[in-house]
Structure 1
Amino acid sequence: VTIVQGPTISAGSQLIANTSYDGVANPCLLASGSIIAPGKIDTIKWVVNVKLNGNNGPFTKSLTVSGRTPAGVTITDVANDGINPDAAGSTPTVINFGTLPEALIGISKEALPPVKVSDRTYDLTFKFKVKNYGRTDFTGVQVQDNLAVTFGDSVRIDSVSLSADAGFVVDSNYTGRGTLINLLVDTLSTLPKNTTRNITVFTRVTITEAISSFENQALVIGKYPTNQTIDDLSTDGSDPDPDNNGNPRDNSISTPIVIDGFVADTVTVLGIAKAAQLDSIPNADDTYNLTYKFVIKNYSTRTLTRIQLRDSLAAVFADSSNFIIAAPPALSAGSTLKLNPDFNGRTNVTMLIADSSSLAPGAADTLELKLRVLTDKKQTAIFANSAYGSAR
């Protein structure tokens, strides 16, 4: 790496460029005596020449700025990717000299701590970050988030409101339920290359059943000029590409939503057991057969209705592992439960249709789920998983 042009400062700035900067022995871009006024934004620019020697990256880099207040207090900040110094976080800047794909989009979703309003009512805030990682501008962007699938029968969605950065136009019809799951008006929402835009969703919910832990993912869809689309499932946190490899599509961890402080006012009388049986010999395609067996029992003296069972398989087989449902889930003979045909363990984690599922006093039902699992892990791996049930 050689310096082609040393640090230069924007016109009218009180910053002083360090003419001895070389990025190695002398890594400071500014000289002593540099001043920045309150509310002032200054720009520093420098140019380097890089000889790759066959390594096209990606390369990641963060800068640290420090200053001293009139009171003598030293303050620091770590740079965040982009051109907005107010943005939260400290995501490194990624430089990739390889061939970027024509279209590549990423999304992250962060759940802020719930705010308790009353005994069972909470305010939830979700923050989405959408970034264009490709070489072309997106002429239409859509983000979908189905809150009803996430919360199922355990939570009532009382109200929803949206806001977004300039360049995105929120859909005022969004409710998070049914078909009204689009956060944006896609024909009015754009995302130029190497641009990041944010969306905030505020919702007030009321817990109706004794479940306070959930998982959720959103889907972003980008449309580019050749009338094609590309999508990405959200990953937890505030960075669509937390491993900084330039590819957000290999990051898709569900966002946990935990409502702390909620205590059910009744003792549960619904019991759930889950067993796993794994074939020790892989199939010809290197997948393994895995069978889950769930037993749901009513320990009360009355009929339980609106039975629901949730299992987020995507949260278990993440990163270097994947799965497919090898056969439709099956119930025991004479079951009074009804299967959800849309269950996929990823975007739809509810296994039953609650309105049509019940259990008589003392009755038990069995549900069997067969998967085929593929993993890139070279050593023995443990996958821990729990299912969550509810009833009324």
Structure 2
Amino acid sequence: MLYYLSLLEAHLSELRLFKYITFRTLGAASTAFVVSLLLAPWLIRKLQAINFGEQKIDDRVGGLGKQTKVGTPTMGGILIIAAATSSTLLWAIPTNTYVLLTLGTFVLMGGIGFVDDYWKIKRKNGLSVKAKFAAQLGWAAIVFGVLWSVPEMRDRVTDFMVPFCKQPLFQMSMVVAFIFLVLVLVGASNAVNLTDGLDGLAIGCSNSVAVAYLFLTYVAGHSNFAEYLQVPSVQGAGELTVYCGALLGAGLGFLWYNCHPAKIFMGDTGSLALGGAIAMLAILIKQELLLTIVGAVFVIEAASVVIQSSYFKYTRKRYGEGRRVFKCAPLHHHFEFVEKERALVEKREPELVETVIVTRFWILSIIFALIGIATLKLR
């Protein structure tokens, strides 16, 4: 919205700053960060007042001493969505199709998570897997319909881009392109959801991905840079850089209160919203498979759950009893159990293992994000 102030630069030359994506990205990040910091205390008190807190600890991690987390306010994703959305609408061009699609995905996925969180608290059971998938599938169909209805977007949506390659590997059919879009959207949103299990883990890794896609969207939206680096040029995608800035600012503001010991959890409201938004950024600039590198921590976490579940079912069917690859899945809980067992053997109190694991996962996430950015040159 503030972009339109640049139209008045003839009267005040300083207003030309609002034309520049870099300036508006910094503004969006700063605004979202401040909004998060200011709204968080109020939201925490409000959620505590209506008893919208963590109801119980997952039985799988019952032996890790997490009882103190019960009662911690959840549904903090509301804060991330509110801060990032309001900041984006303020600093980006609000009529940009790419921004609207990304914001729509962000809010709708957050809405699905909100219903799931709300029912977990009020009904003790959240949305079923089928209901979640149906809602995600419905939105994916709408997104695909919008992309297919615009000739320029239609040509890109069928491109199958591979990291390190300058040209599309092949052209997908309409049906295959839709299935691919659904896989990316549903897969990313649920991968972030599975990663959300330790204080600051999911939001910290999401911030690294947001920074990576901030660079990627800026390059995709800048024709000269896109041509030089030989990546898909997407006219208008530069406005997504402003959104990435807002998402980063909102994420940092939320992390202020979500770091250990967390005063608020994002819940499915936040994790599904973040995963959906990240997926849309990748889809719109045709860097879907690069997301497996940039967001490798999310991929590894999701893979650990699939491996654990598949192996357990296989061994139960073959040997009559289920066996496990990891002590617990997702992977971050496996490392918690390993550290606890080590502490018992060494007859010492477990260290702040949660903080150690989260910090190391952040480091890995930053490394993967840098590798993803580096692929822009390695083509």
Same fold per superposition (TM over 0.5): no
The TM-score with structure 2 as length reference comes to 0.25
Structure with greater strand share of residues: 1
Which protein has the larger Cα radius of gyration, Structure 1 or Structure 2? 1
Using CA pairs under 8 Å that are at least 6 residues apart, name the structure with larger relative contact order, 1 or 2: 2
